[in-house]
Structure 1
Amino acid sequence: MKTTSSLMLILFIVLSITMTACTNKAWYEGVKEGAKNNCRSQPPGEVESCLERLNTKTYEEYEKERSGQK
């Protein structure tokens, strides 16, 4: 019985970590998409320069930079 409880706790922790990572990635990508949409609503002469200034890093690149890894 104790083993089953331990396994359930471990499974819960692993799923929680996995779900949090997916949520963070979805949030990151959503913010990037929102910024693109904001650029597209700019006056015609501003759209291209706005899009060029946007963050183009993948979530994985962002996480490596944020955590100080190279």
Structure 2
Amino acid sequence: MKTKQFLAMIALAFLILTITGCTTKSWYEGVKEGAKNNCRSQPPGEVESCLEKLNNKTYEEYEKERSGQK
């Protein structure tokens, strides 16, 4: 059930961002925020461990890594 909710949230975020014509950076930040919201909806004992597993890179760090720059 949680997986379906998570996928629905991601799909909704993607749709909204696509419709509004957001930049790649905005899309990246939106997906990160959606993942945080998903963690916050977990049972109380699992919230912290979920948040710790998330990607905390800035968009700039992500782009450097993605393009192979150091």
TM-score above 0.5: yes
Number of equivalent positions: 50
State the shift of 1:51 in Å. 0.2
Matches within 5 A, 1:40-55: 40-55=40-55
In structure 2, list runs of 5 or more residues that go unmatched: 1-20
Corresponding position of 1:25: 25
RMSD: 1.4
Distance 2:40 2:56 in 1: 16
* TM-score, length-scaled by structure 2: 0.69
Distance 2:52 2:62 in 1: 18
* Structure 1 moving runs of 4+ over 3 Å: none
* TM-score, length-scaled by structure 1: 0.69
Corresponding position of 1:39: 39
State the shift of 1:59 in Å. 0.1
Letter in 2 for 1:68: G
- State the percentage of identical aligned residues: 90
